[in-house]
Structure 1
Amino acid sequence: MQPDFPITRDILLIGGGHAHALVLRQWGMKPMAGVRLRVINPSPIAPYTGMLPGAIAGHYTIDEIMIDLVRLCRFAGADVILDKAVGLDPEAKTVTLASGRQAAFDIASIDIGITSDLPQVDGFIAHGVSAKPLGGYAARWEHFLQTAPQAPNLVIIGGGVGGVELALAQAYRMQQTGRSPTITVVDRNAQPLGNMGPKARAGMIAALRRYGVGLHLNAAPVRLEADAVVLDDGTRLQSDFTLSVAGSRPQGWLAQTGLDLHEGFITVGPTLESSARDIFAVGDCAHLSHAPRPKSGVYAVREAPYLFHNLRARASGAPLRRYQPQRDYLKLASLGDKRALAEKFGLRSGGAWLWWLKDTIDARFMAKFRDYPAMPAPKLPDLRPRDLGAVMGAKPMCGGCGAKLPAGALGRGLACLPGQSADLSPGDDAAILRRPQGVQVLSTDHLRAFLGDPWRMGQLAAIHSLGDIWAMGAAPQLALAQIILPRASDTVAERMLAEILEGAQSVLGPAGAALGGGHTTMGAELTVGFTVTGCCDRPVTKRGAQAGDALILTKPLGTGIILAAEMQITRPKSGLLGPVWANCVANMARPMGRDAAILAPVARAMSDVTGFGLAGHLAEMLGAGLTATLDHANLPVLEGAEGLARQGVQSTLAPANRAALRPEWDGPLADLLVDPQTCGGLLAAVPAAQAEAVLAELAKAGAPARHVGHVVPCAP
């Protein structure tokens, strides 16, 4: 998306299927001005189906078969919403999410895949595993491998190509772990592999025999138990792991959309548009009315260029393209070990070279989502100040608290302020207004957007703004919003504002703060902030810590590093960025009202850890003659943050924050100590004798609090 142009259209991609992933990559290479592209998916990663049997067999790691949607969306300039669609209103053009939120759109596409669960079978939810969605199955399988008995029983329900491939993969992996499994494929038909020709079917059945996998035909499950599958012919099969690959079932919520469906799948024509104008559907969730085809990822991949064109054409008013699927395609089926079988037009061949071919094709597809072309940096003018390039930097400026003014420049800028009046204390995290009874505290804060979901930005900005009130031990009272929206049409601006306020209200309401109004304007980029007030009898100030006090931190460190990595589309040396980023955002989204209520009665000093990092805010808490010893081994750190720090990832504010890092605090986690935190935790100095009881109470309240050090006298 080009920020120089106003946003006038919302395009919403519902689901992270193969076609949508390819559209996102194309969009990153060729964005469309004036469009806000958004993606809704419950997970930050999406599996590539073609490599699933290889992962189950152990030829690939689970990470190797996953598309990192968070990195992909950043490259595409798309906003990612980690939620699940559960409803759609074609007339109102809104999507209902599992969280209760609604997302509006002008143009939408649905690529949510299918499911293979069996909700109609008694006991399936409790004891069965679905092959689709794939992510859950892969995780359950890896866990089973760690706990499986020496001679496990496995049942695969569904004897199609997918079921047989996974049966062979599981058999191979079991043998590689030294186990002797009994594996049975159950199918309701008289013969398995109904979509394959006779020669290919014979080859797959021969592979089943080689691995000792049994076939139980003309039968279907009627009940799943903890250790068995009961079939409708009276057979009871022992089972330690029951997998369903029984055909393809559409997601149930589609039946309530009012769209034309075929056996539960969205009916689309040659342009991939559904019965409702501006709503497209692709992949396994769609039925091609003009050219019906079996469910296959091959068609989803080949639909992507047409969908990419048609989404843009609908937004611009250009003609749509028509997609005509091929009649047949090369089917490559895994045989457990590193061999594969191929079929096309009824012809069959097999062997190790076909595994090489399949592996090459799959690797080429996944390479599209591993490394992205570097976007060119803005060209500096020929005539410029000598220090312009140094101030701009080589990487994008961070959002959130990473965009704060450095402490040194801030302090020098504030030096010009006049002294305070007798009845107005400058306070610490918040200004303190004296009242006849108790005090009122007042603070303001805002965040430069670091993610594109306005609802989430509203939620996080509210939590961040309330941090100062909670740090003073006050009960939130009132909030006023200050919101800068990017230039947009009235319709899009109205949607964005409503989403921001709904996200903020999800925090302010439960915290007891009334949203009393505020101010909005349009500018270069999204910025969300709040002025907040709170009341208390005795404010907890930053200063007041005493030698011997225990230091307690209520949230893990690393948000600045992780948010910087996402902005820079960094690929971790191990693992995936998407889950790391999603976990970071989830930690940021935890309000701290309960933390403050536990700490305030006992804390001698308290502050929230934000832009200046733990080192900077701890330095502010220590009076003359005091320092602290830090327990690096006990510092809470977000998953993935240490690894990214070792790769050299840091927030743009981190170098300036190092000025507050005292020599005695240096150590293996120094990069985390100077990392600017957004929605960071509370740091409290409490009497050492009360620390254990406070930590126990915080744990009971769900806070991942840690005892991170002690206040001590400075060395003479």
Structure 2
Amino acid sequence: MQPLIPATRDVVLIGGGHAHALVLRRWGMRPLPGARLTLINPHPTAPYSGMLPGHIAGHYDRAALEIDLVRLARHAGARLILGRAEGIDRAARTVHVPGRPPVAYDVASIDIGITTEMPELEGFAAHGAPAKPMDDFAARWGAFTALAARGEVAAQVVVLGSGIAGVELALAAAHRLRQVGITDPQVTIVERAPEALPNIGKGARSALLRHLAEARVTLITDAVAKTATAEGLRLADGRLIPAAFQLGAAGARPQGWLADTGLELHEGYVSVGPTLQSLTDPAIFAVGDCAHLSHAPRPKAGVFAVREAPVLYHNLRAALGAGDLRPYRPQRDYLKLVSTGFRGAVADKAGLRLGGRWLWRWKDRIDRKFMRKFHDLPAMPRPPLPREVAAGVAEELADGKPLCGGCGAKVGPGALFAALAGLPGPQRADTLSGPGDDAAVLTHGDGVQVITTDHLRAFTEDPWLMAQITAIHALGDIWAMGAAPQAALAQITLPRLSPDLQARTLAEIMAAAESVFRAAGADLVGGHTSVGSELTLGFTLTGLAPRATAKGGARPGDLLILTKPLGTGTILAAEMARAAPGRAVAACFASQSRPLSADAAILAPEAHAMTDVTGFGLAGHLFEILDASACAAKLDLAQIPFIEGAADLAGRGHRSTLYPANRRAATRMAVPDGPEPDLLFDPQTAGGLLAAVPGPRAQALCAALRDAGAHAAVIGEVTEGFPWIDVT
């Protein structure tokens, strides 16, 4: 058997720009053994700039131009940190990301693009929309066009800047507004210089100015913007240009935090040499618009980022000890394809000009071919089975799906209950409950102490996020019993790592866990570590309460409240198969990362019965309440909340490893077919609380939960009868 190769070096990619996206794609096909890869980006997707004008014009939906960084990170075996880098400590070799401990690196690369935010323009931060970064801009434009189409806002757009980007976006905006039924949109370009389109050939410039005139886009030059207001853009000469949408496409500038890194900069951009390494620090690379090619200065254009990618991939490996560095030699000129809004384009290179619809079709083919690199990631073949294996092995692996992490990796309820059935009841007088409740209950002074343990196989490459979610998940049993968390012990199995990476990983895990426990009022007092084949985290916890809120006690007439949406198991299973949209995964992590302390404080004083919804799914944990209370229940499927994207993934056949066992165990149910009913059996990691509360109090409790940030809903009622669940 080949030995497990330990990770020994950390490579951190800061930003999800085009070059980094291409590096991730190559890395997935040919990783460097021993290197641990991390990507830091504020959003789970990154837009492709070449298709943004087409999106603004309505030719592409948003999915067409988005690179899904969650899928790409899974393909590359990288961890994705959803956060915005705001600094680098080069002495400590760490990257600062607000809200979490510093992220350590041995080699780092920066590809964060530029911004068209305009801090010098009064009011722009409140009333303007910078074209870059593109994620927020695309979302705001979509909302504006919807409002304009309904007549709720005026179809008035001001574009600040008459460079190629400003003209292209103005033409796209005018076309889109006409497409949604507005016959005479008012689109105005404001330029402080005496002439528009300064960095393009004369022929292409003349053609684009003609297109502006034909689209009835107003061009105002020699105009200085003074103030952005809710009514529009006020110029220095006192004129007001009415606008409901103010788009910043001028004054492209580097991200401000680069100035504090101590790296050599040129006009705020990181100066790099032929190998794309910083002139100051060879451990840091920079590419794309945020970099200045000191050996061969070039304008800011995506074509250079794309062509830097193979060199960056090679040189990152070389910086980690795999080969020699290679120089990047940029082309002297490049073809500029400028779309004109109506599925036409103008081309400019070396002063020559071409134009027409055929050129747009050519551009469209180029752009779609580029995006197919990310939408159709190459499948990596599974290692073949040995020639001879024991009977049953092939059948167990027939579906080809990876084993889920989190609660999806737990033993099914049938096998677990059969094992627990052989255990004797409590033998000690101070042990008040045996196997089967959320936590063991012990006498403690005038009240009780509860004790529980839980652990999870990792479902994310990010140990900090995994520790945070695992801590919240383990606390769920304490909160479900209505207890105040008291103390925690950690059980950590690390994959094989070098001593330096062990220390970094443990520091992240302990920082995340300690933060969760401290906020919950508990102390993290120690634990145990070991080394294994994969990351596994667990916590043993105690809590104190005057009395324990058990699963038994639900009464006919009680209403059922659920405090988190369902779908984590399905989303995580689909993510492992590289099929879950990045936004769905981000929503899943956000739901899992919300603690239940406020939920428990609201529900415990009034709940007749309560549990947390985890591995056995909503149906399985509701049956625990019903069996303990000798009652039945009715669920209203329309009222049950689901995480965005979960039902769609379930409808496409994605299932957690534990789903079949959960479904087989829930035999006493009348449930319709469909993806939403299937999610009732979906194992939930760090799921919500499920409480049976007095009917007259349910709506007030639910309102209080929503005020506290819970995605809470009244999902059904407890009824008389043999334990049974009707779903309608």
TM-score, shorter chain, exceeding 0.5: yes
Q: Is the 8 A contact 2:425 2:434 kept in 1?
A: no
TM-score (norm 2): 0.96
Counterpart Cα distance in 1 of 2:667 and 2:695: 23
The equivalent of 2:330 in structure 1 is 325
Q: 2:6, 2:259 → 1: CA distance?
A: 36
1:293-343 CA distance string (max 9 Å, x none):
000000000000000000011101521010010001111000110111111
Quote the residue 1:674 is aligned against. 681
> In structure 1, what is the equivalent of residue 288 of structure 2?
283
Report the AA paired with residue 496 of structure 2. R
1:170-209 to structure 2, matched below 5 A, reads: 170-179=173-182, 180-209=184-213
CA shift digits 1:367-412 (9 cap, x unpaired): 0111222222232222212211222342000000000011112222
Cα deviation, 1:177-229, whole Å, max 9, x if unaligned, reads 22211221111222111110111111111100101111111222121111121
Which residue does the alignment assign to 2:425?
A: 419
Structure 1 residues 711 and 8, CA gap change in structure 2 (3 angstroms): same
CA contact (8 A) 1:430 1:469 kept: yes
Report the counterpart of residue 608 of structure 1 in structure 2: 612
CA distance in 1, matches of 2:617, 2:171: 52
Aligned partner (choices 153, 156, 166) of residue 159 of structure 2: 156
CA distance in 2, matches of 1:453, 1:154: 42
Q: How does 1:84-233 map to 2 (within 5 A)?
A: 84-148=84-148, 149=151, 152-179=155-182, 180-233=184-237
1:49-104 deviation per Cα after TM superposition (whole angstroms, max 9, x unaligned): 00000000000011211100001100111100000000111221111113253101
1:297-696 mapped onto 2 (5 Å cutoff) = 297-316=302-321, 318-392=323-397, 393-421=399-427, 422-424=429-431, 425-426=433-434, 428-570=437-579, 577-623=581-627, 625-667=630-672, 668=674, 669-696=676-703
**Residues 163, 198 of structure 2: 8 Å contact kept:** yes
Unaligned runs of 5+ in 2: 724-728
CA-CA distance at 1:120 after TM superposition: 1.0
Contact 1:629 1:664 in 2 (8 A): no
**Match of 2:270?**
266
Letter of the aligned partner of 2:633 in structure 1? A
In 2: Cα distance, 1:76 partner to 1:304 partner: 15
CA distance in 1 between counterparts of 2:154 and 2:513 reads: 54
Q: Which runs of 5+ in 1 are unaligned?
A: 572-576
Paired letter, 1:208: L
Alignment partner, residue 257 of structure 1: 261
Residue by residue, what CA displacement relative to the aligned partner does 1:498-521 show, whole Å, maximum 9, x if unpaired?
A: 001111122111100100010111
The answer to whether the 8 Å contact 2:607/2:691 transfers is yes
Alignment correspondent of 1:574: none
Q: Cα RMSD between the aligned structures?
A: 1.5
Answering whether residue 714 of structure 2 is matched by residue 703 of structure 1, we say no
- CA distance in 2 between partners of 1:675 and 1:433 (Å): 32
CA distance in 2, matches of 1:558, 1:217: 53
Q: Is the 8 A contact 1:455 1:500 kept in 2?
A: yes
Q: Cα offset for 1:236?
A: 2.4
> Offset at 1:625?
4.4
Following superposition, the deviation at residue 703 of structure 1 comes to 1.1
Residue type at the aligned position of 1:228: G
Find the aligned partners of 1:104 and 1:673 in 2 and give their Cα distance: 40
Indicate conservation of the 8 Å contact 1:3/1:524, yes or no.
no
SS at match of 1:394: coil
**Cα distance in 1, alignment partners of residues 232 and 445 from structure 2:** 71
Q: What is the CA-CA distance between 1:690 and the residue it aligns to? A: 1.8
Aligned to 2:726: none
Looking at structure 2, the residues matched to 278 and 698 of structure 1 have their Cα atoms a distance apart, in angstroms, of: 48
- What is the CA-CA distance between 1:458 and the residue it aligns to? 1.0
> How much identity, in percent, do the aligned residues show?
56
Once structures 1 and 2 are overlaid, which stretch shifts more, 198-207 or 540-549? 540-549
CA distance in 1, matches of 2:395, 2:426: 38
Aligned residues: 710
CA distance, structure 1, for counterparts of residue 361 and residue 499 of structure 2: 54
**Residues of 2 paired with 1:86 and 1:309: CA distance?**
27
The amino acid of 2:434's aligned partner reads: P
User: What SS is found at the alignment partner of 1:290?
Assistant: coil
CA contact under 8 A between 1:630 and 1:665: conserved in structure 2? Answer: no
Letter in 2 for 1:139: A
- Asked if the contact 1:14/1:41 (under 8 Å) is kept, the reply is yes
Segment of structure 1 superposing worse, 117-126 or 142-151: 142-151
C-alpha distance after superposition, 1:580-625 (max 9, x if no partner):
1101110110000110111111111111010011111111111374
User: 1: distance between equivalents of 2:708 and 2:323?
Assistant: 56
- 8 Å CA contact 1:619, 1:660 repeated in 2: no
Q: Structure 2 counterpart of 1:167, which letter?
A: A
Farther-moved stretch of structure 1 (99-108 vs 529-538): 99-108
Q: Displacement, 1:714?
A: 2.6
Question: Is contact 2:662-2:681 (8 Å) kept?
Answer: yes
